[in-house]
Amino acid sequence: MFNKGSELLNLCKTRNKKIWEIVVEKEIDNAQISYEELMNNMNSVLDTMINSANAALDKGVISISGLSGGDAKKMEDYKNKGNTISGQLINSAMAKALSTSEVNASMGKIVAAPTAGASGILPSAIISVKEKFNLSHEDMIHGLFTAAGIGEIIAKNATISGAEGGCQAECGTASSMAAAAIVEMLGGSVEASFNGASFALLNIMGLICDPIAGLVEFPCALRNASGVVNAMISADLALAGIDSIVPFDEVVDAMYKVGKSMPESLRETALGGIAATPTGEKLKRRIL
Ligand code: SF4
Protein backbone atom coordinates (compact mmCIF):
# COMPACT_ATOMS: atom_id res chain seq x y z
CA MET A 1 0.00 0.00 0.00
CA PHE A 2 2.87 2.38 0.87
CA ASN A 3 6.58 2.13 1.43
CA LYS A 4 7.61 5.78 1.26
CA GLY A 5 6.35 8.87 2.99
CA SER A 6 5.43 10.38 -0.36
CA GLU A 7 3.18 7.39 -1.11
CA LEU A 8 1.43 7.64 2.25
CA LEU A 9 0.99 11.38 1.76
CA ASN A 10 -0.52 10.81 -1.69
CA LEU A 11 -2.89 8.17 -0.39
CA CYS A 12 -4.07 10.54 2.33
CA LYS A 13 -4.59 13.38 -0.14
CA THR A 14 -6.31 11.44 -2.90
CA ARG A 15 -8.62 9.65 -0.47
CA ASN A 16 -9.03 12.60 1.89
CA LYS A 17 -7.97 10.58 4.91
CA LYS A 18 -5.72 11.04 7.91
CA ILE A 19 -2.49 9.05 8.25
CA TRP A 20 -3.99 6.93 11.03
CA GLU A 21 -6.92 5.90 8.86
CA ILE A 22 -4.69 4.64 6.05
CA VAL A 23 -2.45 2.81 8.54
CA VAL A 24 -5.48 1.13 10.11
CA GLU A 25 -6.68 -0.04 6.69
CA LYS A 26 -3.26 -1.41 5.90
CA GLU A 27 -3.00 -3.23 9.22
CA ILE A 28 -6.39 -4.84 8.81
CA ASP A 29 -5.38 -5.98 5.35
CA ASN A 30 -1.93 -7.23 6.37
CA ALA A 31 -2.91 -8.98 9.59
CA GLN A 32 -6.27 -10.17 8.29
CA ILE A 33 -8.05 -9.13 11.46
CA SER A 34 -11.19 -7.13 12.10
CA TYR A 35 -11.30 -3.44 12.98
CA GLU A 36 -12.42 -4.39 16.50
CA GLU A 37 -9.55 -6.82 16.99
CA LEU A 38 -7.05 -4.24 15.79
CA MET A 39 -8.44 -1.59 18.15
CA ASN A 40 -8.36 -4.08 21.04
CA ASN A 41 -4.72 -4.82 20.28
CA MET A 42 -3.82 -1.13 20.19
CA ASN A 43 -5.76 -0.51 23.40
CA SER A 44 -3.68 -3.15 25.08
CA VAL A 45 -0.51 -1.47 23.74
CA LEU A 46 -1.71 1.87 25.09
CA ASP A 47 -2.49 0.37 28.51
CA THR A 48 1.09 -0.90 28.78
CA MET A 49 2.41 2.49 27.69
CA ILE A 50 0.34 4.34 30.28
CA ASN A 51 1.42 1.96 33.05
CA SER A 52 5.12 2.25 32.24
CA ALA A 53 4.94 6.05 31.86
CA ASN A 54 3.51 6.39 35.37
CA ALA A 55 5.13 3.49 37.22
CA ALA A 56 8.30 5.28 38.34
CA LEU A 57 6.84 8.71 39.06
CA ASP A 58 6.05 8.21 42.74
CA LYS A 59 8.54 5.53 43.70
CA GLY A 60 12.13 5.03 42.65
CA VAL A 61 12.51 2.17 40.18
CA ILE A 62 16.13 1.00 40.19
CA SER A 63 17.68 -0.92 37.29
CA ILE A 64 18.93 -4.49 37.60
CA SER A 65 22.55 -3.29 37.22
CA GLY A 66 22.09 -0.53 39.79
CA LEU A 67 23.45 1.94 37.26
CA SER A 68 20.29 3.99 36.96
CA GLY A 69 16.91 4.67 38.49
CA GLY A 70 15.00 7.12 40.62
CA ASP A 71 15.33 10.00 38.16
CA ALA A 72 11.70 9.90 37.00
CA LYS A 73 10.60 10.55 40.57
CA LYS A 74 13.12 13.36 40.96
CA MET A 75 11.83 14.96 37.75
CA GLU A 76 8.20 14.55 38.82
CA ASP A 77 8.90 16.03 42.27
CA TYR A 78 10.76 18.95 40.68
CA LYS A 79 7.87 19.57 38.29
CA ASN A 80 5.39 19.52 41.18
CA LYS A 81 7.29 22.31 42.95
CA GLY A 82 6.30 24.56 40.03
CA ASN A 83 8.25 27.50 38.73
CA THR A 84 10.57 25.42 36.55
CA ILE A 85 12.37 26.63 33.46
CA SER A 86 10.54 24.50 30.90
CA GLY A 87 7.12 24.45 32.53
CA GLN A 88 4.62 21.79 33.53
CA LEU A 89 3.92 20.17 30.15
CA ILE A 90 7.56 19.68 29.18
CA ASN A 91 8.60 18.60 32.68
CA SER A 92 5.72 16.16 32.96
CA ALA A 93 6.59 14.62 29.59
CA MET A 94 10.25 14.33 30.62
CA ALA A 95 9.29 12.56 33.86
CA LYS A 96 7.07 10.12 31.97
CA ALA A 97 9.78 9.38 29.42
CA LEU A 98 12.25 8.70 32.24
CA SER A 99 9.67 6.49 33.93
CA THR A 100 9.30 4.17 30.94
CA SER A 101 13.08 4.04 30.50
CA GLU A 102 13.49 3.05 34.14
CA VAL A 103 10.79 0.39 33.88
CA ASN A 104 12.64 -0.96 30.85
CA ALA A 105 16.00 -1.02 32.67
CA SER A 106 14.41 -2.88 35.58
CA MET A 107 13.07 -5.54 33.16
CA GLY A 108 9.50 -4.31 33.52
CA LYS A 109 6.93 -4.36 30.75
CA ILE A 110 7.20 -1.66 28.11
CA VAL A 111 6.25 -1.24 24.47
CA ALA A 112 9.23 -1.08 22.12
CA ALA A 113 8.20 1.88 19.99
CA PRO A 114 10.23 1.52 17.93
CA THR A 115 12.77 -0.08 20.30
CA ALA A 116 13.13 -0.71 24.02
CA GLY A 117 15.89 1.88 24.26
CA ALA A 118 13.65 4.60 22.87
CA SER A 119 10.44 3.32 24.47
CA GLY A 120 9.88 6.37 26.68
CA ILE A 121 9.38 8.96 23.97
CA LEU A 122 6.12 8.07 22.22
CA PRO A 123 4.06 7.22 25.33
CA SER A 124 5.08 10.37 27.18
CA ALA A 125 4.35 12.51 24.13
CA ILE A 126 0.84 11.28 23.47
CA ILE A 127 -0.17 11.04 27.14
CA SER A 128 1.14 14.53 27.97
CA VAL A 129 -0.52 16.14 24.95
CA LYS A 130 -3.78 14.32 25.66
CA GLU A 131 -3.74 15.64 29.23
CA LYS A 132 -2.90 19.22 28.30
CA PHE A 133 -5.52 19.51 25.56
CA ASN A 134 -8.12 17.32 27.25
CA LEU A 135 -8.23 14.97 24.28
CA SER A 136 -9.92 11.57 24.25
CA HIS A 137 -8.57 8.06 24.67
CA GLU A 138 -9.47 7.54 21.02
CA ASP A 139 -7.26 10.46 20.02
CA MET A 140 -4.32 8.69 21.65
CA ILE A 141 -5.13 5.48 19.77
CA HIS A 142 -5.24 7.40 16.52
CA GLY A 143 -1.91 9.04 17.40
CA LEU A 144 -0.37 5.60 17.89
CA PHE A 145 -1.47 4.50 14.43
CA THR A 146 -0.04 7.69 12.94
CA ALA A 147 3.22 7.00 14.75
CA ALA A 148 3.20 3.41 13.51
CA GLY A 149 2.95 4.60 9.91
CA ILE A 150 5.96 6.88 10.30
CA GLY A 151 7.96 4.22 12.13
CA GLU A 152 7.23 1.65 9.46
CA ILE A 153 8.48 3.95 6.70
CA ILE A 154 11.73 4.67 8.56
CA ALA A 155 12.25 0.96 9.34
CA LYS A 156 11.68 0.01 5.71
CA ASN A 157 13.84 2.72 4.13
CA ALA A 158 16.53 3.20 6.77
CA THR A 159 16.98 1.62 10.19
CA ILE A 160 15.59 1.88 13.71
CA SER A 161 18.57 0.13 15.27
CA GLY A 162 21.20 1.93 17.35
CA ALA A 163 23.70 -0.77 16.42
CA GLU A 164 23.19 0.00 12.75
CA GLY A 165 22.47 3.72 12.66
CA GLY A 166 23.28 5.24 16.06
CA CYS A 167 20.87 6.79 18.53
CA GLN A 168 19.49 9.03 15.78
CA ALA A 169 17.91 5.84 14.41
CA GLU A 170 16.34 4.86 17.73
CA CYS A 171 15.51 8.02 19.65
CA GLY A 172 15.35 9.98 16.41
CA THR A 173 12.74 7.63 14.97
CA ALA A 174 10.74 7.61 18.20
CA SER A 175 10.75 11.43 18.21
CA SER A 176 9.76 11.50 14.57
CA MET A 177 6.88 9.09 15.19
CA ALA A 178 5.77 11.10 18.23
CA ALA A 179 5.93 14.45 16.43
CA ALA A 180 3.70 13.20 13.61
CA ALA A 181 1.29 11.70 16.13
CA ILE A 182 1.03 14.93 18.11
CA VAL A 183 0.39 17.01 14.99
CA GLU A 184 -2.41 14.71 13.89
CA MET A 185 -3.89 14.50 17.40
CA LEU A 186 -4.08 18.29 17.44
CA GLY A 187 -5.82 18.51 14.07
CA GLY A 188 -2.83 19.39 11.93
CA SER A 189 -2.74 18.50 8.24
CA VAL A 190 -1.06 15.41 6.84
CA GLU A 191 1.66 17.63 5.38
CA ALA A 192 2.23 19.17 8.80
CA SER A 193 2.55 15.69 10.34
CA PHE A 194 5.29 14.84 7.85
CA ASN A 195 6.96 18.19 8.52
CA GLY A 196 6.97 17.45 12.25
CA ALA A 197 8.35 13.97 11.61
CA SER A 198 11.11 15.47 9.43
CA PHE A 199 12.05 18.14 11.98
CA ALA A 200 12.35 15.63 14.82
CA LEU A 201 14.63 13.39 12.78
CA LEU A 202 16.88 16.10 11.40
CA ASN A 203 17.12 17.92 14.76
CA ILE A 204 19.19 15.11 16.21
CA MET A 205 20.81 13.76 13.07
CA GLY A 206 24.21 12.29 13.85
CA LEU A 207 23.43 11.34 17.44
CA ILE A 208 25.65 8.40 18.32
CA CYS A 209 24.81 5.27 20.34
CA ASP A 210 27.14 4.98 23.32
CA PRO A 211 25.51 3.28 26.30
CA ILE A 212 27.75 2.67 29.31
CA ALA A 213 28.64 -1.02 29.61
CA GLY A 214 26.38 -1.67 26.64
CA LEU A 215 23.37 -1.39 28.93
CA VAL A 216 20.36 0.59 27.77
CA GLU A 217 20.47 2.99 30.72
CA PHE A 218 22.91 5.90 30.54
CA PRO A 219 22.70 8.12 28.52
CA CYS A 220 19.63 6.36 27.08
CA ALA A 221 17.09 7.50 29.68
CA LEU A 222 18.22 11.11 29.34
CA ARG A 223 17.87 10.87 25.57
CA ASN A 224 14.30 9.70 26.04
CA ALA A 225 13.64 12.80 28.12
CA SER A 226 15.19 15.06 25.49
CA GLY A 227 13.60 12.99 22.72
CA VAL A 228 10.08 13.76 23.86
CA VAL A 229 10.91 17.45 24.06
CA ASN A 230 12.30 17.21 20.54
CA ALA A 231 9.02 15.66 19.42
CA MET A 232 7.00 18.43 21.04
CA ILE A 233 9.00 21.33 19.64
CA SER A 234 9.02 19.68 16.21
CA ALA A 235 5.24 19.37 16.35
CA ASP A 236 4.98 23.02 17.38
CA LEU A 237 7.21 24.09 14.49
CA ALA A 238 5.01 22.14 12.08
CA LEU A 239 1.75 23.39 13.59
CA ALA A 240 3.07 26.94 13.27
CA GLY A 241 3.02 26.35 9.52
CA ILE A 242 6.76 25.97 9.00
CA ASP A 243 7.60 23.65 6.10
CA SER A 244 10.49 21.25 5.90
CA ILE A 245 12.38 22.36 2.80
CA VAL A 246 13.73 18.82 2.50
CA PRO A 247 10.94 16.21 2.17
CA PHE A 248 10.53 13.49 4.80
CA ASP A 249 11.79 10.64 2.57
CA GLU A 250 15.01 12.51 1.86
CA VAL A 251 15.51 13.21 5.56
CA VAL A 252 15.09 9.48 6.24
CA ASP A 253 17.63 8.65 3.52
CA ALA A 254 20.07 11.18 4.96
CA MET A 255 19.71 9.72 8.45
CA TYR A 256 20.46 6.25 7.07
CA LYS A 257 23.56 7.46 5.22
CA VAL A 258 24.81 9.27 8.31
CA GLY A 259 24.26 6.07 10.35
CA LYS A 260 26.15 3.97 7.82
CA SER A 261 29.08 6.37 7.93
CA MET A 262 29.37 6.23 11.73
CA PRO A 263 32.36 4.26 12.97
CA GLU A 264 31.53 1.01 14.74
CA SER A 265 32.74 2.47 18.04
CA LEU A 266 29.74 4.84 18.00
CA ARG A 267 27.09 2.23 17.22
CA GLU A 268 26.13 0.45 20.46
CA THR A 269 29.49 -1.23 20.98
CA ALA A 270 30.22 0.75 24.16
CA LEU A 271 33.65 1.59 22.69
CA GLY A 272 33.13 5.31 22.10
CA GLY A 273 31.35 8.42 23.27
CA ILE A 274 30.07 8.47 26.86
CA ALA A 275 30.70 4.72 27.23
CA ALA A 276 34.42 5.21 26.59
CA THR A 277 34.96 7.99 29.14
CA PRO A 278 37.12 7.07 32.16
CA THR A 279 33.98 7.01 34.30
CA GLY A 280 32.09 4.96 31.72
CA GLU A 281 34.92 2.43 31.62
CA LYS A 282 35.12 2.29 35.42
CA LEU A 283 31.40 1.66 35.72
CA LYS A 284 31.62 -1.02 33.05
CA ARG A 285 34.33 -2.87 35.00
CA ARG A 286 32.27 -2.63 38.18
CA ILE A 287 29.04 -3.85 36.57
CA LEU A 288 30.43 -6.53 34.30
S1 SF4 B 1 22.25 5.41 23.19
FE2 SF4 B 1 21.99 3.53 21.95
S3 SF4 B 1 21.13 2.01 23.35
FE4 SF4 B 1 20.80 4.04 24.26
S5 SF4 B 1 18.75 4.70 23.54
FE6 SF4 B 1 20.26 5.53 22.11
S7 SF4 B 1 20.34 3.98 20.50
FE8 SF4 B 1 19.39 2.98 22.25
pLDDT, position 222: 98
Determine whether 116 is exposed, middle or buried from the number of CB atoms within 10 Å of its CB (0-12, 13-18, 19+): middle
For the beta carbon of residue 135, count every other beta carbon within 10 angstroms: 16
Quick check: CB of 179 below 6 Å from ligand 1?
Answer: no
Using the 8-state DSSP alphabet, how is residue 265 labeled?
G
For the beta carbon of residue 129, count every other beta carbon within 10 angstroms: 24
Quick check: CB of 171 below 6 Å from ligand 1?
Answer: yes
Residue owning the nearest CA to atom 6 of ligand 1:
167
Distance of CA 163 to the CA centre of its chain: 17
The preferred substitution site among 102, 216, 224, 228 for testing ligand 1, maximizing ligand atoms within 8 Å of CB, is 216
Please state, for a pLDDT cut of 70, what percent of the chain lies above it.
100
* Beta strand extents in the chain (DSSP E only): none
**CA Rg value for the chain:** 18
List the CATH number of the domain containing 55.
1.10.4100
Rounded Cα distance, 21 and 25, in Å: 6
pLDDT digits (tens, 9 = 90+) for 125-140: 999 999 999 999 999 9
CB 151 within 8 A of CB 160: yes
pLDDT, position 288: 85
Contacts with 211 (C-beta within 8 Å, 6 or more apart), sequence order: 117, 217, 218, 219, 220, 268, 270, 274, 275
CB 190 within 8 A of CB 18: yes
CB 247 within 8 A of CB 142: no
pLDDT, position 168: 98
Quick check: CB of 273 below 6 Å from ligand 1?
Answer: no
Quick check: CB of 221 below 6 Å from ligand 1?
Answer: no
pLDDT digits (tens, 9 = 90+) for 212-258: 999 999 999 999 999 999 999 999 999 999 999 999 999 999 999 99
Q: Is the pLDDT of residue 114 over 90?
A: yes
Collapsing DSSP states into helix, strand and coil, what is residue 267?
strand
pLDDT, position 145: 98
Please give the distance, rounded to the nearest whole angstrom, from the Cα atom of residue 188 to the centre of ligand 1. 30
pLDDT digits (tens, 9 = 90+) for 260-278: 999 999 999 999 999 999 9
- Which residues form the domain of 43? 5-287
Quick check: CB of 117 below 6 Å from ligand 1?
Answer: yes
The structural domain count of the chain equals 1
Rounded Cα distance, 147 and 173, in Å: 10
Quick check: CB of 170 below 6 Å from ligand 1?
Answer: yes
Q: What would the mean pLDDT of 107-122 be, rounded to a whole number?
A: 98
Q: Is the pLDDT of residue 60 over 90?
A: no
Quick check: CB of 113 below 6 Å from ligand 1?
Answer: no
The preferred substitution site among 104, 268, 271 for testing ligand 1, maximizing ligand atoms within 8 Å of CB, is 268
Residue 116 CA: nearest ligand 1 atom is: 8
Average model confidence (pLDDT) for the chain? 97
